[in-house]
Structure 1
Amino acid sequence: MKPGEHDFPVASSKDIYTGRVMAVRADQVVMPGGREATREILEHPGAVAVAAVDPDDRLMMILQYRHAVRRRLWEMPAGLLDHAGEDPAAAAARELEEESGLRAAEWSVLVDCVSSPGFSEEAIRVFLASGLTEVTRPDLGDDEEADLETRWIPLAEAVAMVLRGEIVNATTVAGVLALQAVRDGHGHTRPLDAAWPDRPTRFAARTS
């Protein structure tokens, strides 16, 4: 068999942990030589993020506490796909409104990301949103989202923040640089119904 032709079949799979927003399983994967190797996989429902831009090419950014890294990070509005089969564009519109108090008239797909494919199924679709209007932001209660700080940041400054290491959230880094590439004429956004082959489904199937 030539390199690139092996399809890595799964001989068996065992659940290790199932939580509210993730699960972990162990797959026994058949390697090209025939031996089996254990691969521990984090299942994830998938997520969406929004590059919301105003007429002056400023991005709506949020400063949000992330407990895993024990500090606040600059990010785009984003959230999980909470339900099996949930429309990603509808979820993105919901998150934009909840986190920034904005509604968009124009939508397209900017970029897709798989954040840590070595061990995680997590995939994120980043949308480009424009034609923005302000709406009443819903009550976020007393969870960590209530601590969000919002700020308009010019795209050029956001790119500089990425390169200075001040924006490190992987999805936001990808979205900022993809938007700059589009603005520079190096590519185009995609329609809302663009195929998303990496969208995860196993975790959603567990909870549906």
Structure 2
Amino acid sequence: MTFEHSESAPGTHEFDVVDSRTVYAGAILALRLDEVAMPGGRVAEREVIEHHPAVAVVALEGDDTVVLINQYRHPVGRRLLELPAGLLDKPGEDPLEAARRELAEETGLAAHDWSVLVDVALSPGFTDEALRIYLATDLYETDRPTPELEEADIEIVRMPLDEAVRKALAGEITNATAVAGVLALVTARASGAPLRPADAPWPGMPTAFLDRKADESSEN
């Protein structure tokens, strides 16, 4: 399929969606098939996975001990060293409050000091899934709810930050969120780059799947 078009300079084309249909919608994601106008007048199909936004926490004890979790991940069939993390699965949920909740649920820890470490578009070639990683310091113990399902098997792992960096570079920590968070922290420290406040705007937070769920609830 092609449309009449005018030539546009690279970086200025509008990738309009001319048609869209939902192939699948489940509990944590939906698969959408879009027809997108391409430069040159063609229209191409693009598969898009809508996903909940997510948060993760680099929880730092003292100056150099990072709190990780070792968690079974069924799609890859093994346990991975990860940061405490979770989904924002309620419309209007505050990302910082979600991060506090996930830190408590997965480690039994809370923090007095929070800041935004880095925002990540996890795989923008096929999904809108995005993640905000926080830095949490001045930790203290708090109530941990009784874990369920895979979380009942979580092992808490405390590790020197430089060892976590070594494991990431050696391919021993492969979870993308953990790699991004650990390397972002050491880079920020080395460069002196300031971190954003914990309530900084998050313009890249995806909303399509949350909006879809809200529409479904209003129809029921």
Normalised to the residue count of structure 2, the TM-score between the two structures is 0.92
| Partner Cα distance (1:151, 1:139) in 2 | 18
Partner residue of 1:109? 116
Q: Which runs of 5+ in 2 are unaligned?
A: 1-7, 215-220
Partner residue of 2:155? 149
User: 1:114-193 to 2 correspondence within 5 Å?
Assistant: 114-141=121-148, 143-193=149-199
**Identity within the alignment, %:** 55
| Partner Cα distance (2:204, 2:23) in 1 | 23
User: 1:53-64 to 2 correspondence within 5 Å?
Assistant: 53-64=60-71
How far 1:151 moved relative to its partner? 1.2
Which residue of 73, 86, 95 maps to 2:93? 86
Partner residue of 2:218? none
Partner residue of 2:4? none
How far 1:34 moved relative to its partner? 1.1
Which residue of 8, 11, 35 maps to 2:15? 8
Q: Which runs of 5+ in 1 are unaligned?
A: none
Moved over 3 A (4+): none
Instruction: Give, as a single letter, the amino acid of the residue that structure 2 aligns with 1:48.
Output: V
| Partner Cα distance (1:198, 1:41) in 2 | 16
User: Over alpha carbons, which structure has the higher Rg?
Assistant: 2
Root mean square deviation of aligned Cα = 0.9
Q: 1:161-205, CA deviations, whole angstroms, 9 ceiling, x for partnerless residues?
A: 000001111111100000001221342211122222211101001
Instruction: Give, as a single letter, the amino acid of the residue that structure 1 aligns with 2:189.
Output: R
| Partner Cα distance (1:165, 1:173) in 2 | 10
